[in-house]
Amino acid sequence: MRAKESVELLIYSLTIFHRQTCVFHVNIAEAEASNYWRNFLSKSSHKDEFCETQGVPKRHSSKKYYRHIRLLNGLLFSMKSFCKRLIPNITNDKDGFISYTTELYKLYCFETLSGHKFILMVHPSIHYGNELLRQLYSTIYLENVIKSPEYNYGSLIDNQLFESSLGSFFKHYIQEIS
First to last CA, the chain: 8
pLDDT score recorded for residue 32: 59
pLDDT digits (tens, 9 = 90+) for 4-25: 444 446 888 899 999 888 999 8
CB 165 within 8 A of CB 140: yes
Q: Where are the beta strands (DSSP E) in the chain?
A: 11-18, 21-27, 50-51, 56-57, 99-101, 106-111, 116-122
pLDDT at 79 over 80: yes
pLDDT score recorded for residue 106: 93
pLDDT bin (cut points 50, 70, 90) of residue 97 is confident
CB 29 within 8 A of CB 16: no
Backbone angles phi, psi at 28, to 5 degrees: -65, -35
Q: How many angstroms separate the CA atoms of 152 and 150, rounded?
A: 7
Question: pTM of the predicted model, to two decimals?
Answer: 0.75
Class in CATH terms, 2-177? alpha beta
With a CB cutoff of 8 Å and minimum separation 6, the contacts of 67 are: none
Higher pLDDT, 99 or 91: 99
In the chain, domain spans: 2-177
pLDDT digits (tens, 9 = 90+) for 125-160: 888 888 999 999 999 999 999 988 888 888 888 888
